[in-house]
Structure 1
């Protein structure tokens, strides 16, 4: 059993928060953190099983980065799959060829970042989704295409 304290200056807001807390705060902070760490360990085992490297950094960095890496890679893989599906349906041969070229480059970027072992790298790239991550790295590597 644990207790969570908060202050509200409005009785109605206090009652609303109490009702919300009773439904949503089910674990003490320590138990919640333990669950978070256990989830990261599970993600690390799953990553290892598919050939991803173990992350390097402090224990807290690694725990946080496991979640970030799993989400970004899943997003990036789905983005590429959806983009390839859309490109296959294009009628304009020139646009289709250009899309295929870019998607091939994004696929190569995905292969490379999958092997990134630094937890700090994943943490630094946590903003946005997998598609944004791939596009930002593509822009870094192909600045000439971004010039107008």
Structure 2
């Protein structure tokens, strides 16, 4: 399994979330208080580890998720910023990733959902975390819907 590393440049609340998730093997941190980001209630999160396209180092980030067939779905929103998040750029460069959902750790291959699959997964994710709609309105880029298929 690829090492999980917490990047120094992450906000403290994300570092804290990652630390709790990693140290407890997902028992603490699987659910995140969405009110911290403008949503409501507790939402499920997974840990995604990509390999930095510039550094070559593993980088781990917590992301809200839903199921997508045998895999999982995440949204590359970056809060509606004009550019894609670094983790998304990393998986474009190398789609082989590592995922942790609670204590379950596995390798996956990331792909961008398109067409009807994308639309269905987008609605599913908005049902979990409504601010995604505002994020899409805030940017000209089409926010990617990413499927993580176990390998």
Q: Is the TM value for this pair above 0.5?
A: no
* Structure with greater Cα Rg: 1
TM-score (norm 1): 0.21
Q: Which has the higher strand share?
A: 2
Q: Which has the higher helix share?
A: 1
